[in-house]
Amino acid sequence: MTDAAMTDASTKDAAVTTDWARLGADTMLVREPDMNPAGKWEYEDGLMLGGMLEIHRLTGDPRYLEYARANLDRFVRPDGSILGYRADEWNLDHVNNGKVALDLYEATGDERYLKAADLLFAQLLGQPRLDAGTFWHKQIYPYQTWLDGLYMGSVFYARYCRLTGRDDLWDDVALQFTTAYALTLEPSGLCAHAYDETRSMPWADPTTGRSPHVWLRALGWFVMAMTDVLEHLPVDLPQRAAVHQQLRSLLTALRSVADERTGLWFQIPDQAGRPLNYLEASGSFMVLAAVAKGLRLGYLDAAEWGAHLERAWAAGVDEFLTVTAEGWVDVNRICQVAGLGGPAQRDGSYGYYMSEPIVANDHKGVGPFLLLAAEMGRRAGSPGHRGRASDSRSTGMPSRTG
């Protein structure tokens, strides 16, 4: 067997024989018992807790549910008020953790979580909008739609409507997705990071309003959001078919720019050959989590995506995951943060996206890893199995920034 073949075989073995879901969840229990020591209400923590709850559903291990509950209870008071939350910032990022509140309400029946969700839903009812109907991303980013916001706000919007019987809002939920897709769609079939309705931002194209580049994690947020919302949109809602088709189309465009060697994706996915571009963990795991869930729920064709998912998951284990001497899993090569405008006047250029720090164990990468590991555990059909993990050293330190 050649060296390349041996490497490929060992990578596939680690991907299949290691119970990455349990390993990842157990790592969080020990390494980060307090998910946010600074006491900030941050969206990436909800992303990570969502992964922990998926692994709870997979394994039935009560420790993972209790971890989510203990950490959310540091913010959600008995009366449902939320420590550190300000509705008047009109920030869609602040809504993301509401999905965990809904999960915990459904799991425990504790009314505090529903009351917290009520607060976040009230924000959405008052959220400023573009003329096109989509939510502003934040008060400080007026008249702008960012792909990130569909995951942060609109999936919660759908889940809350379903739980509370707000059938009058389904058209508006679907509009958030179909309109964001139309506003950001590029000729390549990919979607730009953001859109400025005023076309006044320095980063906005004066004709289209779109930002200059497609960014992997923004695409990851969007395909995860579309996959999640399809679970909740009524099957007889006319716009549901449009959301489904847009998901399939966007994933097809993503597959066309996947790295030929690994099946993973670069930070700027459609410019793989440019200097400094790199295979990025958070966005790659997000796209694969959406694919895996889409296959499980029948939204995607197994003939189109099954082999790609298995190959890319094995490559992702090799490219992005290491296991420490303590037995903890590190998720490496995560873009720490990327945005547009703001005090730093981020211009959305290629150089800007390459300039942001690359870190390990940021929840924006850990969360998608946990979600994907849960889906791959379901595919394997053996959630309790733990096999051999490759043992290597971490390439970065945990980050709580951005």
Tens of pLDDT along the chain (402 residues) come to 333 333 444 444 555 557 999 999 999 999 999 999 999 999 999 999 999 999 999 999 999 999 999 999 999 999 999 999 999 999 999 999 999 999 999 999 999 999 999 999 999 999 999 999 999 999 999 999 999 999 999 999 999 999 999 999 999 999 999 999 999 999 999 999 999 999 999 999 999 999 999 999 999 999 999 999 999 999 999 999 999 999 999 999 999 999 999 999 999 999 999 999 999 999 999 999 999 999 999 999 999 999 999 999 999 999 999 999 999 999 999 999 999 998 888 999 999 999 999 999 999 999 999 999 999 999 998 443 333 233 332 333 333 333
Task: Please count the residues of the chain.
Answer: 402
Q: Are 112 and 78 in contact (CB under 8 A)?
A: yes
Q: Is 148 a catalytic residue?
A: yes
- The predicted pLDDT at position 254 comes to 99
Q: Which one of 3.40.50.1370, 1.50.10.10, 3.30.2350.10, 3.40.50.920 gives the CATH number of domain 21-380?
A: 1.50.10.10
Residue 298, amino acid: G
Cα–Cα distances (Å) from 336 to 253, 268, 354, 375, in that order, read 25, 14, 11, 24
- The predicted pLDDT at position 7 comes to 40
Nearest Cα residue to 297 out of 384, 377, 375: 375
- The predicted pLDDT at position 275 comes to 98
- CA torsion angle 296 191 332 55 (round to 10): -30
| Domain boundary assignment for the chain | 21-380
- The predicted pLDDT at position 344 comes to 87
Q: Are 225 and 160 in contact (CB under 8 A)?
A: no
Q: Could you say which of 148, 196, 270, 330 is catalytic?
A: 148
- The predicted pLDDT at position 382 comes to 45
Structure confidence by residue, pLDDT tens digits, 310-324: 999 999 999 999 999
- The predicted pLDDT at position 398 comes to 33
What is the spatial distance between Cα 243 and Cα 182, in angstroms, rounded to a whole number? 11
- The predicted pLDDT at position 98 comes to 99
Structure confidence by residue, pLDDT tens digits, 62-117: 999 999 999 999 999 999 999 999 999 999 999 999 999 999 999 999 999 999 99
What are the structure tokens assigned to 142, written together?
Answer: 């007026």
What is the spatial distance between Cα 6 and Cα 33, in angstroms, rounded to a whole number? 38
pTM (2 d.p.): 0.92
- CA 222 to chain CA centroid, Å, is 8
Task: Reduce the secondary structure of the chain to three states and give it as a string.
Answer: CCHHHHHHHHHHHHHHHCCHHHHHHHHHHHHCCCCCCCCCCCHHHHHHHHHHHHHHHHHCCHHHHHHHHHHHCCCECCCCCECCCCHHHCCHHHHCCHHHHHHHHHHHCCHHHHHHHHHHHHHHHHCCECCCCCECCECCECCEEECHHHHHHHHHHHHHHHHHCCHHHHHHHHHHHHHHHHHHECCCCCECCEEECCCCCCCCCCCCCECCCCCHHHHHHHHHHHHHHHCCCCCCCHHHHHHHHHHHHHHHHHHHCCCCCCCCCECCCCCCCCCCCCECHHHHHHHHHHHHHHHHCCCCCHHHHHHHHHHHHHHHHHHHEEECCCCCEEECCEECCCCCECCCCECCCHHHHHHCCEECCCHHHHHHHHHHHHHHHHHHCCCCCCCCCCCCCCCCCCCCCC
Structure confidence by residue, pLDDT tens digits, 376-393: 999 998 443 333 233 332
- The predicted pLDDT at position 233 comes to 99
- CA torsion angle 362 338 183 224 (round to 10): -10
Residue 24, amino acid: G
